[in-house]
Amino acid sequence: MSNFWSGYIIVLALANIIGVAVLLMWTRRMDISDLAKDGTTGHEYDGIREYNNPLPRWWLITFWGTIVFALIYLVLFPGLGKYPGLLGWTSSGELAKDEQLYKRQYGGLYAEFARTPIPELAQNDRAMQVAGRIFANNCAACHGSNARGGLGYPNLTDKDWLYGGEPEKLLATLTHGRKGVMPAFKEAMGEDGVKEVVAYTLSLSGRIVDPELAKAGQARFAICASCHGASGLGNQALGAPNLTDTTWLHGGSEAQVMNTVLYGRNNVMPAFDQILGPERVHLMAAYVYYLANVRR
C-alpha cells in the first residue's frame, strides 16, 4: 500500500470517529431556549408531538463506549493504513495458526488415508464420511449435493467418464484439473451442415432421425471423428465424450446438441492440488471412486 492511500485511510477513519464525538457533544450543548414551553420541539404531525427529552444516560454512555472501543481497537489491531497495531495481528498469521492446529488434530488421519490405495480407501466408512464433508464444501456447488451433476457438470455417480474413472485418472483430474474444449462448427459447416451432423450423431445412440440427413451427416462426421473416434465412442485421452450412449453433458435434445455443435463448449474443472493439498485430493479421488463403484 502506498503512503498516500495509507494516509487517506488513516484520515478517513479518524475523521469519522472524531466527527461522531463532536456530534454527540454538540447535541448535548444545543440551545433549546426558543423551543416550546411545554417541553416539546414544536413539531407535530397527525396529533403526535415531538418531545425534547435528553437521551437516557445509559444510551449516551454506550455511544461514548463505542468511540473508546474503536480507538483502542485501532491502536491494538491493524486498521489505520499501514500501521500494524501493537499486537501485530494479521489475518494470514491467524490462518497459519489455524492450519497448524488443524494439522496437529487431523494430520495423522489424512496421512493414514493417503497411504491407503484408493479402491481400499473407498471401502472405509470413516474416510468416506470425512470425504463427504470435503465434497460438500468444495465440489457440490457444481456437481450437486447428490453428486449427480447437471447441465455442463458431470454426474459422478455413474460410470460414464470423460477422462476415465480409474483411480489414477481420478487422481490426475482432481490434482491438475481439466479443460475441455468443443470447437464451434457454425462457420466451418454452416447451419445445414450442422443439422446433418447432429442427425448422424443422434442416430449413433439409437435415436430416430431423418435418414437422409443422417446419411449426409456421416460424411461430415469425419471432422468430428478426430476427437470422438470414427464410431463415435469418444476418446478419454482428450476428454471427448462417447456419442453412442444416452449421457449428454450439455443436454441431449436435438436443439441442445445443435447448440453445442454450432457454438461449441468450454468446460473447466479446477485443479485442487493447491486448494486441498495432496492428501485430501487422494481422499477425494477415493470418494469419487466410491460414488460410482461402491455406494448403493
Which grid coordinates belong to 39? 417541553
E strand or H helix at 48: strand 48-51
Mean pLDDT of 113-135: 96
- Same fold for the pair 93-177+271-293 and 180-269: yes
Mean pLDDT of 109-135: 96
Q: Is residue 198 over pLDDT 60?
A: yes
Task: Determine the Cα–Cα distance for residues 92 and 111; give it in Å rounded to an integer.
Answer: 25
Q: Give the end-to-end CA distance of the chain in Å, rounded to a whole number.
A: 55
Mean pLDDT of 33-51: 75
CATH number of the domain located at residue range(s) 180-269 in this protein: 1.10.760.10
Query: What is the per-residue pLDDT for 241?
Result: 96
Q: Is residue 33 over pLDDT 70?
A: no
Mean pLDDT of 115-139: 96
Helices 186-204, 211-220: axis angle to 10 degrees equals 120
Query: What is the per-residue pLDDT for 30?
Result: 64
Query: What is the per-residue pLDDT for 36?
Result: 57
Task: Determine the Cα–Cα distance for residues 256 and 234; give it in Å rounded to an integer.
Answer: 19
- Enter the DSSP assignment of 163: S
Query: What is the per-residue pLDDT for 32?
Result: 61
31: confidence class by pLDDT, cuts 50, 70, 90 = low
Choose between 178 and 28: higher pLDDT. 178
CB-neighbour burial class of residue 159 (10 A; exposed 0-12, middle 13-18, buried 19+)? exposed
Using H for helix, E for strand and C for coil, what is the string for 112-174? HHHCCCHHHHCCCHHHHHHHHHHHHHHCHHHHCCCCCCECCECCCCCCCCCCCCCHHHHHHHH
- β-pair partners for 267: 180
Q: What is the tally of helices (H) and strands (E) in the chain?
A: 13, 4
Within 10 Å of residue 16's Cβ, how many Cβ atoms? 11
Q: Is residue 42 over pLDDT 80?
A: no
Is 93-177+271-293 in CATH node 1.10.760.10? yes
Task: Determine the Cα–Cα distance for residues 212 and 207; give it in Å rounded to an integer.
Answer: 14
For the chain, the structural domain boundaries read: 3-89, 93-177+271-293, 180-269
Q: Is residue 107 over pLDDT 80?
A: yes
Mean pLDDT of 78-101: 93
296: confidence class by pLDDT, cuts 50, 70, 90 = low
Mean pLDDT of 214-238: 95
Residue from 160, 175, 134 nearest 269 by CA: 175
Task: Determine the Cα–Cα distance for residues 208 and 33; give it in Å rounded to an integer.
Answer: 92
